Structure 1
C-alpha cells in the first residue's frame, strides 16, 4: 500500500510480509508430445481418404487407400515367376534322381566289367550337371520368394494405416491426388497425441546458466489469462537452436556480427481438456527461487547498490522527514524485493521525496 504524505512531500510504502519468487522469463511454444507425419511409400493416385480434420483415430485405423492395380499386377507377376521356377526345380529334381540312378547302374556294371569307363564318366557328368542346375534353381526360388514378399508388402503400402492413437491435426493431400514417393515420402495427414503437450522454451544465453532441470515452471496463454499452468523443466538442450541444421553449424563456426543465442528448454504437461493447442505461445516463468512470509518492499524504493552489495533506501521518520538506511536484499522480481537486513515490518520506505534527509545513513538489523 502506498501512502502519500503531501505535507512532507513523501510518497511511501510500508514493509509488508508476503511471498516472492525470482524467475527467468522466456518465450515458449507448445507442440504435441508425439506427432507423426503419415505418408505413402508407393506411387499412385489416392482412391479414398477415410479421415477428416480433427477426427480421432486408433492405431491400425485405415487413413487412405491408393490405387493398387500396379502393385496387384506386380504381385501376380512375382507369384507367376515363383511358380515357374518352382516347376523347373521340380522337373530338374526328377531328372537328377534319374541321372543318379543311371550313374549308380553304370558304376555297378563297370565293376562287373559290363560297362566302359566312358559310360560311367558320361553318367557322372550328367548327374553332376543336373545337381548344379537344381542348386541354381533352388537359389532362384529363394530370390523369387523374396520378390513375392516385396510385392506383397508394396501392395500393403497402398493401404495407409494409422501408426498410433491420435487426432488428425492436418490433412495434406486430397482424394484423387497423385503421389510420387521417388524422392521424398509424401505426407498424407499429420497425427498428434494432444493429451500431453511439450513446450520448447527459448532461454537466452544470459539466463541459461541459472536455469536448471527440475526447476518449477509456470505460464499463462494469451487466450486464457486466468489459468496458470505449472510444470517442471525436464531438460535443457546442450547446443543452441541455431545449430539444429548444417547451415546453422557452419554459421556458428564462422560467426559474423552479433546474433542472439537461445537454448531450448523442454517440458511436458498434461492436457486433459485440450485447452492447449499446437503452436500456442506463452511467456514462461522459470522459478529460480521462492520464499514465503518474508519482509518485502517495492523495488522502486532501492537506490543503486553500494560497494558492499547493500542498497540505500530512505525511511520515513516520525517527524515526517526521511532517513537513509543501508539494507541487504535477497530475492527480487523487479517489482518487489526481499529484505534480509536493515528494515522491520511496518517501516515506511520512501518512493519519492521532495524534502531533505533528517539523519545520516544507518544500517543493521532493527
Structure 2
C-alpha cells in the first residue's frame, strides 16, 4: 500500500508540474495599442490671469468740498463730458467773484495812472519850453521830468497787476469748473466710491470717485508667465481660456503684448503677457480669473504618436536593460526617457507589434504638446499599431492551479 501511495503522489506532482509549465507557456502579455495617425500638434504654456478692460479711467477730483449731487451709478453707460457728480460750487463761486472784482480794480487803476501819465507828460513838455525862454529854473524842469518817469513806471506796474488779477480770475474759474465731475471717455461705470453729502479732500492725494471702463466689448487678460516659458511666447500667439463662471465655455484671443518688466514674488520671476479677447455679449466681467493656455507653436496634419508610447518599454526589455546597466548598455533606457518635452528635433523609441511580439522602432521627434509628439523621421508608418502599455494575462483555462488541491492517500 505504501508503494502505491508513493507512486500516486509522484504522478500527481508530475501532472501538476506539466500543467503549470503548459499554462506558463501559454501565458502571453496583453498589449494596449493605438494606430499612428495624422493630426495637430500644438505645444502650449499654461498660466492663470485676470480679465480686465482694455482702458480703465480713474475719475477723481482736483478740488475739495461736499458732494452735492450724483448722477452716475454702477453700470451706468456714460458719454464723454457727461456729468457724473457735482461738488458744492458756492465757495469757488465766491473766489471767482473776488477775483473778478480785483481785476476790475486793476483795470480802473490802469485807467487812472494812464491819465496821470498824460498829465505828467504835458507838464514836462511845458516846463522844458519855459526853461528855453528862461522863465523857469532847471530844478522845475527836473522835477517835472521825474514825475513823468514815475508815471510811466506806475502804468507799467498797473499793467502787470492787471495781468496777475486776470490770471487769478482764470484760475478761480477753472477751480469752479472742477466742481463738475464729468466722464472723460465713453464707457461704463464699473465702480463708484462716493455718496451724496460726502466730503472729499484733494489736499494731499486725488481721491478716486468713479472707475470707468472705456469699452467692455473689448477685454484683455493679464496673465503671469514664468521665466522658463516666456521665451516661447511671441506677439500673435493663439490663446484659449476658461473662467469659473462659465467652465464649459472656451474663450479665444491672441497675445497682444509681452511686457518686459519682471514681477518677482518669493524669488519667482514672472512676466505679464497681455491677451486681447473680444467680448461682444459682455459675458466676461472685470476681475474674473482666467485659466489660460497659450499656443506657442502649431503643426497641422503631422504624423504623430501619443506621448505615452514614448515612455513604454516591454518588461523583457526592461529586465535586459537593467541587467546590462553595469556594462554601459543604457541605450534603451535613454531612448525611453527621451519622451519628455524638449525643444527642437530629438530621438525617441516606440514599440510596435511584429508577429505578436514587441519590436523597437527608433524615431526622430519634433514638437510635443504633452499628449502627442510629432514624428519627423524613422521607420514608423501611418496606421502602424504602437504599444501604449502591457498587461499580463492568465493562462488558458482560467486561474492557475492551487497548491495542495490533490493530497496523497494514506
For normalisation by structure 2, the TM-score amounts to 0.78
Equivalent runs, 1:250-329 vs 2, <5 Å: 259-303=267-311, 305-306=334-335, 309-317=346-354, 319-329=355-365
Partners of 2:364 and 2:334 in 1: how far apart? 10
Q: More helix per residue: 1 or 2?
A: 2
Instruction: Tell me how far 1:218 sits from its aligned partner.
Output: 2.4
Structure 2, unaligned runs of 5 or more: 1-26, 312-332, 339-344, 394-410
Measured at CA, do residues 231 and 12 of structure 1 come closer, stay the same or move farther in structure 2, by a change above 3 Å?
same
Bigger Rg, which one: 2
Aligned with 1:59: secondary structure?
coil
Aligned to 1:238: 260
Aligned to 2:91: 70
Alignment of 1:150 with 2:171, yes or no, is yes
Aligned to 1:95: 116
Q: More strand per residue: 1 or 2?
A: 1
With 185-194 and 54-63 compared, the bigger mean Cα shift is at: 185-194
Equivalent runs, 1:51-70 vs 2, <5 Å: 51-70=72-91
Partners of 1:201 and 1:325 in 2: how far apart? 41
Instruction: Tell me how far 1:166 sits from its aligned partner.
Output: 0.5
1:146-168 Cα distance to aligned partner (Å, 9 max, x none): 00000000000000111000000
Instruction: Tell me how far 1:137 sits from its aligned partner.
Output: 1.0
1:69-114 Cα distance to aligned partner (Å, 9 max, x none): 1101111111111111211111111111111111111111111212
Aligned to 2:34: 13
Aligned to 1:218: 240
Partners of 1:13 and 1:34 in 2: how far apart? 50
Partners of 2:381 and 2:373 in 1: how far apart? 14
Partners of 1:133 and 1:298 in 2: how far apart? 95
RMSD over aligned CA atoms reads 2.0
Question: Would you say the 8 A contact 1:305–1:312 is kept in 2?
Answer: no
Aligned to 1:363: none
Instruction: Tell me how far 1:228 sits from its aligned partner.
Output: 3.4
Question: Would you say the 8 A contact 1:237–1:263 is kept in 2?
Answer: yes
Aligned to 2:200: 179
1:264-317 Cα distance to aligned partner (Å, 9 max, x none): 112323322212211222222222221222222221111265389421222122
Counterpart among 59, 79, 98 of residue 38 in structure 1: 59
Instruction: Tell me how far 1:355 sits from its aligned partner.
Output: 6.4
Question: Would you say the 8 A contact 2:42–2:296 is kept in 1?
Answer: yes
1:306-343 Cα distance to aligned partner (Å, 9 max, x none): 389421222122x3332222122222211122222332
Counterpart among 125, 132, 146 of residue 146 in structure 2: 125
Aligned with 1:239: secondary structure?
strand
Aligned to 1:112: 133
Alignment of 1:197 with 2:219, yes or no, is yes
Aligned with 1:148: secondary structure?
helix
Partners of 1:139 and 1:305 in 2: how far apart? 89
Alignment of 1:81 with 2:118, yes or no, is no
Partners of 1:325 and 1:233 in 2: how far apart? 39
Instruction: Tell me how far 1:49 sits from its aligned partner.
Output: 0.6
Partners of 2:179 and 2:28 in 1: how far apart? 86
Aligned with 1:240: secondary structure?
strand
Partners of 2:243 and 2:303 in 1: how far apart? 31
Alignment of 1:330 with 2:366, yes or no, is yes
Aligned with 2:261: secondary structure?
coil
Structure 1, unaligned runs of 5 or more: 1-5, 243-247, 249-257, 357-366
Counterpart among 209, 221, 234 of residue 188 in structure 1: 209
